[in-house]
Chain A
Amino acid sequence: MATHFEMELDNLKSIIKKIGKLAEGQVSEAVKILLQEPEAAEGKIIKKTENKIDKLDVKIDEICQSIFALKQPVASDLRFIMSAMQISNEIERIGDLSISIVKKAKNIKEKHDLIVKFNIADISRQVELITAKTNICFAEQDGKATGEIFVLNKDIRNSCEDAIHDIINEMKVNSKAVVSGTNLVIVLKHLERISEHCTNIAEYVYFTVNAKIIKHDKFDDLRSED
């Protein structure tokens, strides 16, 4: 039989899964709006979900605070609670970035051409993928998935850098592209940040499972240990 403390931890875990799913939905919604032409009806759902995410983020902080104060978690429980606080932070940021993407997407003229030209759809899909994988990594507390998420993040980072490089070149020769180009660069930066936040979450899962802090480490360090 689970003790009531274990039930409390389970409850916390399910709230984090929930907020993670909401953020994943926000990313998909943002990507959909970004890739759509002409712009579809948007705003309501994404705004509503943001409020939900913010509320859950605060709730998670409160739960963690009271577990720290009242239950003195140790060992794996301690790592789980420490990670929970950080993860909910990262998730909340993912939600915010999704909203920003929607706002910037509105300023992009002749979006469709740009999207095709600079490979934005592929990058967006990859970001959706890493978000989904990260949620699974957390739900299953799968430290091994961390490596895969690191690799995916690296790909996304490279693709974003390449695309940004190409966009800047385009803007140099075509001054009409400057406004849209700048907005698209910001969108790409946001996508890249989302992927980074996912990677951070995977790092916290790794920390919870393996009791090893891999923040700021290179993926190669992680691989050479396995």
Chain B
Amino acid sequence: MKDIKIKVNDLSLYYGEKKALNEITMDIPANKVTALIGPSGCGKSTFLRCINRMNDLISNVSITGQMLVEGVDIYDKNVDVVNIRKKIGMVFQKSNPFPKSIYENIAYGPRINGINNKAELDEIVEKSLRQAAIWDELKDRLEDSALGLSGGQQQRLCIGRTLAVSPDIILMDEPASALDPISTSKIEELIHELKEQYTIIIVTHNMQQAARTSDHTAFFYMGNLIEMGKTNSIFTKPMQKQTEDYITGRFG
């Protein structure tokens, strides 16, 4: 189907003997924001990392089932991991700019991809920073170190850095959990803007944030996908009692 970007079939993940994801099946729609919620340790980050094969970097991980991105199973042995990661950007909880200039932070990815023309790089830097809603704040200090930026600015810079390599999917693991309310609402507004062009999957502990930013919400519990649906339905009339208990804070 055209508007399904990612199709997950019976995906299970083990850390050694321990099963951390249990036969997850879900469809992630294109050009929408999908939020993953659930209590700590339920497997949200693990699941997110499955989408760009970041779990490959962890030893002792084994995965069964399928993760189809635009119909291609990314765990197929003929698939090139580098290409996958190029298509699928990731933004982490703690912003992690390189200890370089603002400009270089953005230009880094495109350079690795073989773009060396200065004018072209300039253009990418401006476009990415604009998309990350931070161009106006930074345009006069592109040569300054990225480490001198505030947490909220660093996080938007990192989003810009992700956009610079033109992915079509953006994974975000608690992108605003370390930010103040103003930076948070900037990031949330940005997410809303970006979904026109990208498919976004966001892990958040903040239920209100999931509610505000996402179109679809998936509730995970102990490695299981309990329920996934339109955010509006999940937050007004969830089908499962566990979901209801979690979002109303009556868990346990």
Contact = CB atoms under 8 A, between A and B. Distances in A.
Interface of A: 3-5, 65-66, 69-72
Nearest to A68: B236
A71 B235 contact: no
B208 interface: yes
Contact of B232 (A3, A4, A69, A72): A69
15 contacts: A4-B189, A4-B192, A5-B212, A65-B236, A66-B232, A66-B235, A69-B211, A69-B232, A70-B231, A70-B232, A70-B235, A71-B212, A72-B208, A72-B211, A72-B212
Interface of B is mostly: helix
Contacts of A65: 236
Interface of B: 185, 189, 192, 208, 211-212, 231-232, 235-236
Contacts of B231: 70
A71 B212 CA distance: 5
Contacts of A4: 189, 192
A3 to B, nearest CB: 6
Q: Which 8 A-B pairs have the closest CB atoms?
A: A70-B211, A69-B235, A69-B236, A66-B232, A4-B192, A72-B208, A3-B189, A70-B235
B212 A70 contact: yes
A224 to B, nearest CB: 39
Contacts of A71: 211-212
A65 B235 CA distance: 10
Nearest to B234: A69
Contacts of A5: 212
B114 to A, nearest CB: 36
A65 B232 CA distance: 9
Nearest to A70: B211
Contacts of B192: 4
Contacts of B235: 66, 69-70
B118 to A, nearest CB: 31
A69 B207 CA distance: 10
Nearest to A5: B212
